[in-house]
Amino acid sequence: MKFCFVSEVFPYRKDGKLIIPGGGEAHAFFLSRELVKRGHEVKMITGRWKGTPKREIIDGIEFMRYGSYSPWFKDSLVVSFKNMAVNTISCFRTLDEAIRTDRPDFIIAPVSFALPRAFLLAKAYKIPLIAEVHDVYKIPLYLKHYGKDYGLLIYPGLLYIWLYNNLPKYADLVETASTQHVGDLLAKEFRVPREKICVTGNGLEIEKYRYSADKQQLIVVLGRLVSYKRVDKAIEIFKQVRERIPNAKLAIIGDGPDRERLMQLAEGEKIEFMGFIPEEKKLMMLQRAKILLTCSEFEGFGIVPIEAFACGGFPIVSDIPTHREVVGKHGFVFRSTSEAVQRILDLLSDEKTREKLAREGRKFVEVTYTWQKVCDRFIQMIDGFHGRISHQRHKTQKRT
């Protein structure tokens, strides 16, 4: 089969290294690689990062890049709208070319500004559309957090939230890498028919996640620096840990509009802000770290704790539904700052217990989270769709 992914941004190469900007991008990329391994064809229509070629092939996936991608928080309101207008036109042209040149069996779009473009052309060419939903945003939470991060840009962003929540019900299929909790919200609050929803989950290329017992007194925070990730709370927790364990260090991996404020909070502490880093360096940091700390107020899935387990770290995560379901009984879910601080102190001081828990976590990941299983569920979703279409045609023929 032929699949065509459409998004604002996908992984790219920089100085020969693969850069993966976020969890949704990772899901699409690694799912695509697994599809290619199984003999399917995959194209990715995506915004063009500065310095990246308009066309290239990465791991068997054909990339066609349009326009010029720039994160909203880095530009003024006028420049952001100009970029969005240019990218909208460029995306239509590039996707239209891809469809006419090599008609795909399915168009797949994560729920972003790319989805309306993919939706219109999918309907025009009568190609089934799969909407990928990784989170469900509610307007009160959106205004609370993104108002701090994006200022006036939150108001045009309300249109984005409306599209995000309401367009999936018009897609032919809805794939979520999230937990069943997100699937329930889509069905109950946004009227997505249950038969359209498939929870494929997330996975890892487990062979690349080398388990390491060679650790430092290092805590890692990994993710975009936006207010709902509550990195400020992680810094607060770390400061209390350092009062008892002075040689403890904190590495914050990722970038975003909250970076400047967080750096001010971290001044004078053993905290390193690393920004976006290549995948290989990210794995190296996880292999060095004893603890992965995540304080998010909400998440669609939460792959980072799974990555930490795979590398021999131990995740200490905030008490939200996805963390409880993804980490299960293997990590530590904290309900207060004091609980997180005490658990970190215990594990940094008791290597035998920490190592035992880390090895159990690695086995948990090997059994539960692989891209092969994600792809199996994705193909089952496609087969189910074809089965429903055949059944409907059969019923129609019988009536006539």
Stronger pLDDT, 21 or 335, i.e. the higher one? 335
Q: Residue 85 pLDDT more than 90?
A: no
What DSSP string runs through 34-84? HHHHTT-EEEEEEE--TT--SEEEETTEEEEEES----GGGS-HHHHHHHH
Q: Say if residue 73's pLDDT is above 60.
A: no
Alpha-carbon distance of 304 to 220, in angstroms, equals 10
Share of the chain above pLDDT 90, in %: 52
In this prediction, residue 344 has a pLDDT band, given cuts at 50, 70 and 90, of: very high
Is pLDDT of 10 > 90?
no
Report how far residue 345's alpha carbon sits from residue 316's, in angstroms, rounded to the nearest whole number: 12
Nearest to 147 by CA among 163, 136, 161, 126: 161
- DSSP letter string, 127-183: --EEEE------HHHHHHHHHHHHGGGHHHHHHHHHHHHHGGGGSSEEEESS-HHHH
Given its phi and psi angles, is residue 297 left (phi above 0), alpha (psi -120 to 50 degrees) or beta? alpha
Cβ 7 vs Cβ 25: under 8 Å: yes
pLDDT, tens digit (0-9, with 9 covering 90-100), for 107-153: 999 877 788 889 999 999 999 999 998 877 777 766 766 666 666 66
Q: What is the pLDDT of residue 315?
A: 96
The pTM (predicted TM-score) of the whole model is 0.77
Distances (CA, A) of 333 to 79, 88, 319: 41, 41, 5
Q: How far apart are CA 232 and CA 88, in angstroms?
A: 35
Q: How far apart are CA 366 and CA 325, in angstroms?
A: 17
- pLDDT tier for residue 377 given thresholds of 50, 70 and 90: very high
What is the structure's pLDDT at 300?
Answer: 74
Which of 133, 89, 99, 101 lies closest to 115, judged by CA?
133
Strand, helix or coil at 185? helix
| Local confidence band at 97 (pLDDT 50, 70, 90 cut-offs) | very high
Quick one: pLDDT band at residue 400, thresholds 50, 70, 90? low
pLDDT confidence of residue 99: 95
Mean pLDDT taken over the chain? 87
Rg of the Cα atoms in the chain: 22
Pairing of strands 2-7, 106-110: parallel
Query: Tokens for 360?
Result: 């159990």
Domains of the chain: residue spans and CATH: 2-201+371-399 (3.40.50.2000), 208-367 (3.40.50.2000)
pLDDT at 117: 87
The yes-or-no verdict on residue 291 having pLDDT over 60 is: yes
Query: pLDDT-derived band of residue 43, with 50, 70 and 90 as boundaries?
Result: very high
What is residue 55's predicted lDDT score, i.e. its pLDDT? 92
Lowest mean pLDDT among 161-165, 221-225, 321-325: 161-165
The 10 Å Cβ neighbour count of residue 331 is 25
Beta-sheet pairing, 218-222 with 291-294: parallel
Q: What average pLDDT does the segment 310-323 reach? A: 93
Instruction: Please give the Cα distance from 282 to 303 (Å, whole number).
Output: 13
Residues in the chain: 400
pLDDT at 397 over 80: no
Residue 160 CA to residue 85 CA, distance in Å, equals 14
Tokens describing residue 120: 């219109």
CB 228 within 8 A of CB 296: yes
What pLDDT score does 145 carry? 64
- Is 254 a residue whose pLDDT tops 60? yes
At residue 50, the pLDDT reads: 80
Higher pLDDT, 26 or 220: 220
**For the chain, percent of residues with pLDDT exceeding 70:** 90
